[in-house]
């Protein structure tokens, strides 16, 4: 029975969900692959596909594996010089 008691629906959960909001800025030319991926997701499945993507690889990235801030700034400076 649905939460409003008027028919089938999702079953009541024992615990409330944890809501995580993420806002991405994707740029044409730089993020075309991600833009196409999001555009191809059917209505209502975005959350499920993002969770699946995180579980298959992106979720295994550790902050300890990322370069430190000085290395990232140096890499960005070098990249900008090439432009």
Contact 50, 42 (CB under 8 A): no
| 21: pLDDT strictly greater than 90 | yes
| 3: pLDDT strictly greater than 60 | no
Give the residue-averaged pLDDT of 57-71.
73
Contact 26, 35 (CB under 8 A): yes
Predicted pLDDT at 54: 85
Predicted pLDDT at 60: 65
pTM of the predicted structure, to 2 decimals: 0.56
Backbone CA torsion sign across 19, 40, 58, 68: negative
d(CA 3, CA 10): 8
pLDDT of 70-79, one tens digit each?
Answer: 887 888 788 7
Q: How confident is the model at residue 7 (pLDDT cuts 50, 70, 90)?
A: low
Determine the longest span between alpha carbons in the chain, in angstroms.
62
CA 47 to chain centre: 8
């Amino acid at each position: 029975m649905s939460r409003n008691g008027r028919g089938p629906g999702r079953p009541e959960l024992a615990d409330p969900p944890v809501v995580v909001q993420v806002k991405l800025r994707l740029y044409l030319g730089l993020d075309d692959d991600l833009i196409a991926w999001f555009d191809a997701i059917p209505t209502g499945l975005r959350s499920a596909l993002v969770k699946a993507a995180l579980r298959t690889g992106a979720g295994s990235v550790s902050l300890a594996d990322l370069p430190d801030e000085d290395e990232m700034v140096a890499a960005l400076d070098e990249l900008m010089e090439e432009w």
